[in-house]
Structure 1
Amino acid sequence: MATSAARLNVTDNSFLTLENHGGHMHVAGVLIFEGPPPPYDDVVERIQARLARVPRYRQKLADSPLRLGRPLWVDDPNFNIHYHLRHTALPAPGGTAQLETLVGRICSQRLDRTKPLWELWYVTGLEDDRFALIAKTHHALVDGIAGVDVATLLLDPVEDDGTRDGTAEWEPAAEPSDVQLAVAEVRDLLEGQWSVAKRALRALPHPRQAVQAAGEYLQGLRDFLGAVLDTAPPSPFNVAHGPHRRVTWFEIDLSEVKRVKNALGGTLNDVVVATVAGGLRSWMLDRGYPVDDVTLQAMVPKSVRADAERHAVGNRIAAMRAPLPVGVASPVERLRCVSAAMADLKSSKQVLGVEIYLGAQQFAPPMLLAQAARLNFSTRLFNLIVTNVPGPQFPLHMLGREMLSFLPIAPTPQGHTLGFGILSYNGKLGFCMIGDWEVMADIHDVADHIRAALHELQDAATAAESSH
């Protein structure tokens, strides 16, 4: 069955625009399974059968020769599962260090834009007879929530219930010609303008509601512009860098983070952000960087995906800013600062302002879209990405093997040499760090400082619990 063509939304398109020089805009996930590793052909058969559930994974980009707007997703008539699903093996001893090196190398290479924008690496040779899947997908294709949803579609919540997906032959739609692409682009632009006019006409009979909505929109834009004008400070994480990456990670019990939250207040996300701030503070102090009165800014993607959009690909996120108060020495006070700032953010209309800002770009020409994308991810606005995604709290399986770990890798746009991906899965919380190969050569030290910051909060939680 062929898949209908669809135009990239503004956010999807911005991730394509941002990919330049040493900046990569793919995201990745490391999925580690118990053994024994299944035969490669069985993995191919399973993934091939599940692709019908995510048809966008068999589509590629197609641009109009007019280049008046955003590209389309169209079926790739030359789609070949063996190009996308690759088999490799780790060198001995097949431990975490060898797997991290492989992930870093895979994340150092851009995806080929003439093909569907994803790769899946089947990795054998892990110690303890385990195996892994490394999924690399362009951010234009999925956001964090969508990536988790796609994983749950491709995997199984039970060990093996004996059911099999259909194996109907896929027939791609005919690839559109340049003339068809140009006609579709002009048609979409005209339809977009007409939809704006219709919305205005529908508001005329209801002036009170229109005025109220306009007031909320103006408040949202004011909150959004206030965040834009509040620039991020200079930091060692915002310097020129190359295309090569280092990756490391660790996991903790999710129950421990919840214990900190319950004892000290705030939300689970507040604890995560405060932990990152504490780790960066001690790392900066170790290297002689000033921290007094410094508050770094993190870009924290917030999902605005509706329930009806679950399991859909594409991006439905608003880029929010969260403070990283590295100038605050006390771990408890740091958490309070983060919690207060995040509470203010939730009560503001900044998310609405971001959506209005993105909506205004729907009909903008490519040059303006490129400028807007660079503004969204400018080092003037934030110092690093901290993405915290809730994953499934039950075990997933593939071909009867349980997935033991689900570890997310954040994108690394130009000018940002360090990023954090955090994901909860089946009672564990994975902290993943990706950094530039040269600038963040000591990325494992960053991980040690993050662990130490979490231990500080755990000790503070224990003290708070014993005082009650």
Structure 2
Amino acid sequence: MSSEGLSWADTDEMSAFETLMWRAEADPALRSTMVAFALLDSAPDWPRLVEAHDWATRMVPRFRKRVVEPPLGLGSPVWALDPDFDLARHVRRVRLPDGEGWPALLAQAEHLATTPFDRSRPPWEALLVEGLPDGRAAYLLKLHHATTDGMGGVQLFSGLLNRHRETDPDKPQPPAPDPDDEPGPGPWTALGRQVRHDAEALAAVPTHVLRAAGEALRDPIAKAREAVAFGLSAIRVMGDPKAEGSPLLARRGPDWRFVALDLAFADLRAAAKSCGQSLNDAYVAALLGAFRRYHEANGSGVDEIRMAIPVSLRGGDDDAGGNRIASLRLAGRIAEKDPRARMAAVAQDVARGRAEPAADDVGLLSPLLARLPGSVIAAVAGGVTKGNDLQASNVPGIREEVYLAGARVERMYPYAPRPGCAAMITMLTHGDTCCVGANLDPAAITDRELFGRCLVEGFAEVLALGGDAAPPVLRG
């Protein structure tokens, strides 16, 4: 058998952006927890599931690594093998009481997501939930966002899930990494690396300055225009969007509440094509329609809400795992009742945001912010993200049939971190189904049932543009 592992999140040093997410949790409202929620057609065999996790941690050594902080937080955190790694601390199972279904299941997922990680151990947990109707089960995988973004998570699942119910006898069997052989960087090593990186950066400054000066002398007017254009772009990107925050959604709290929704991928794609727009444009337009209905039901007349859309910067040559995202901050026009016009407006706004020279605002600021204390990072980051009423993400998922320890994965709901905003809503395409996971702040969106119905109506309105569409299904 081959002994090769999966090439995923192999670097042992956090990027500046990942450092921000790790340290911003000085404010509990900015917890960076992701939960992948897989609905299974049957309960997997428990010993086989445990063995599958052992195999996964050998395939991807990152899952045996903990985060090591440099002294006084003066450098970037690093990943090092946990010398006391114990799989039993990371993989558990529970059974729902008889007669309970989706509400109890979502409550389990919410509890898992909001329970802080033990930061002295690898930041992940898995929970098998048995006792669902018709013999089904659910598998919940909790990861810290410093490990990966949504696309990296899909890459992970694609590499680890089986394509058949039966065990594959020919799958790679890498040995477990030995902390004695691979001790990894310690706190002082991490600090030494940071000093070396800073010295290299300072040494390169004269070269960059001379190069920039030479280019400016050759064409000073063009360089001045570029500098001004970039500065104005940075102001537009990093400044507040024109929309005011919704008074209805103004309160913020620490709790998370989950909603799950299914709709047919083909129907949403047909609706987008009927308007000459993208699947993502149709998705965001449906969400804005849901927010309009929720405001109308509560007697609140708001024309726009503050919205952010994470944008993947991941290229074909980028390593698997890690984080490659930027964020577009937009004004969501919820007053527009025509779904076609709303979709067109979303397409225009996103295209305009992507074209900004300073579109990667996170990448621009992360190296500076990552050097600050966690409390300061939390205050700065929270000052931006807590003003958002909606963050919306769309992640392409796994289209082929996959299995976990013999159980078929029927659905995969994504629950992304809610960094102080009123709602973080993510859509993941699994097979022929768009699985929507809404992570709501119950202090802002006080009526989860009403909001769920508004989501259904918002998507139904958009799906109708494509012709005869199956109605969206609200789980619960």
Using the TM superposition, give the Cα deviation of residue 210 of structure 1 relative to its aligned residue in structure 2, in angstroms.
Answer: 11
Out of 120, 123, 127, which is 1:117 matched to? 123
Secondary structure at the aligned position of 2:251 is classed as coil
Q: Secondary structure at the match of 1:285?
A: helix
Cα distance in 1 for residues equivalent to 2:276 and 2:69 = 50
Letter in 2 for 1:300: I
Distance 1:187 1:376 in 2: 32
SS in 2 for 1:420: strand
Partner Cα distance (2:326, 2:415) in 1:
19
Deviations 1:308-327 (A, max 9, x none): 22522x21110112432112
Q: Deviations over 1:260-316 (max 9, x none)?
A: 11112211111111100000111011112122xx2212211111122222522x211
Structure 2 residue 102 is the aligned partner of structure 1 residue 96: yes
Residue 133 (structure 2) aligns with: 127
Matched, 1:262 2:273: yes
Corresponding residue of 1:339: 347
The answer to whether the Cα contact below 8 Å between 1:69 and 1:366 also exists between their aligned partners in 2 is no
Residue matched to 1:275: 286
More deviation in 166-175 or 251-260? Answer: 166-175
- Could you say if the C-alpha distance between residues 204 and 81 of structure 1 is closer, same or farther in structure 2, counting changes exceeding 3 Å? farther
Cα distance between partner residues in 2 of 1:111 and 1:210: 52
User: Residue 462 of structure 1 aligns to which amino acid in structure 2?
Assistant: G
Q: Could you tell me how far apart the structure 1 residues matched to 2:185 and 2:463 are?
A: 58
Deviations 1:376-433 (A, max 9, x none): 74334x322111111122122223332110110021223x232211111111101111
Indicate yes or no: 2:38 matched with 1:31.
Answer: yes
In 2, Cα distance between equivalents of 1:177 and 1:230:
40
With 18-27 and 427-436 compared, the bigger mean Cα shift is at 18-27
CA contact (8 A) 1:246 1:440 kept: no
- For 2:449, which of 444, 448, 462 is the aligned residue? 444
**Measured at CA, do residues 92 and 240 of structure 1 come closer, stay the same or move farther in structure 2, by a change above 3 Å?**
same
Moved more, 249-258 or 15-24: 15-24
2:249 partner SS: coil
CA RMSD, 1 decimal: 3.0
Assess, with a 3 A threshold, how the Cα gap between structure 1 residues 42 and 335 changes in structure 2: closer, same or farther.
same
Q: How does 1:296-307 map to 2 (within 5 A)?
A: 296-307=305-316
Tell me the secondary structure at the aligned position of residue 429 of structure 2. strand
Alignment partner of 1:418 out of 420, 423, 428: 423
Which deviates more, 427-436 or 202-211? 202-211
Judged with a 3 Å threshold, the aligned counterparts in structure 2 of structure 1 residues 178 and 341 are, in CA distance, closer, same or farther, namely: closer
Cα deviation code 1:175-231 (max 9, x no counterpart): 655544433332233234345555556667777799979966764443232133234
Distance 1:360 1:17, change over 3 A: closer
Which structure 1 segments of 5+ residues have no match? 464-468
In the alignment, structure 1 residue 247 sits paired with structure 2 residue 258: yes
Q: How does 1:3-402 map to 2 (within 5 A)?
A: 6-19=12-25, 20-35=27-42, 37-160=43-166, 161-172=168-179, 173-174=182-183, 178-195=187-204, 199=208, 219-231=229-241, 232-235=243-246, 236-241=248-253, 243-291=254-302, 294-312=303-321, 314-352=322-360, 354-358=362-366, 364-366=371-373, 370=377, 373-374=380-381, 377-380=384-387, 382-402=388-408
TM-score by length of 2: 0.86
Distance 2:221 2:39 in 1: 53
Question: What is the letter of the counterpart of residue 170 of structure 1?
Answer: P
2:472 maps to none
Match of 1:466 in 2: none
Could you tell me whether the CA contact under 8 Å between 1:6 and 1:73 is conserved in 2? yes
**SS of equivalent residue, structure 1 residue 92:** coil
- Measured in 2, the distance between the counterparts of 1:89 and 1:403 equals 19
Q: Which runs of 5+ in 2 are unaligned?
A: 469-476
- Partners of 2:10 and 2:280 in 1: CA distance: 38
Are residues 269 and 391 of structure 1, via their aligned partners in 2, closer, same or farther at CA, if it must alter by over 3 Å? Answer: same
8 A Cα contact 2:59 2:174, kept in partner: no
Structure 1 residues 438 and 296, CA gap change in structure 2 (3 angstroms): closer
Bigger Cα displacement from structure 2, 371-380 vs 110-119:
371-380
TM-score (norm 1): 0.87
Shift of 1:5: 7.1
Does the 8 Å contact 1:62/1:71 carry over to 2? yes
- 1:120-165 Cα deviation digits (max 9, x unpaired): 1122212221222101111111111111111112212344443233
Is 1:224–1:354's contact at 8 Å kept on the other side of the alignment? Answer: no
Deviation of 1:256 (Å): 0.7
Which amino acid in the other structure matches residue 25 of structure 1?
S
CA distance in structure 2 between the partners assigned to 1:116 and 1:297 by the alignment = 35
Q: What percent of counterpart residues are identical?
A: 22
Counting matched residue pairs gives 455
SS in 2 for 1:168: coil
State the SS of the aligned residue for 2:301.
coil
Q: Secondary structure in 1 aligned to 2:295?
A: helix
- Offset at residue 46 of structure 1 (A): 1.1
Partners of 1:122 and 1:132 within 8 A in 2: yes
Question: Taking structure 1 as reference, are residues 325 and 439 closer, same or farther at Cα in structure 2, changes over 3 Å only?
Answer: closer
The answer to whether the 8 Å contact 2:70/2:190 transfers is: yes
- Bigger drift between 219-228 and 176-185 goes to 176-185
Query: Which region of structure 1 is more displaced relative to structure 2, 347-356 or 322-331?
Result: 347-356
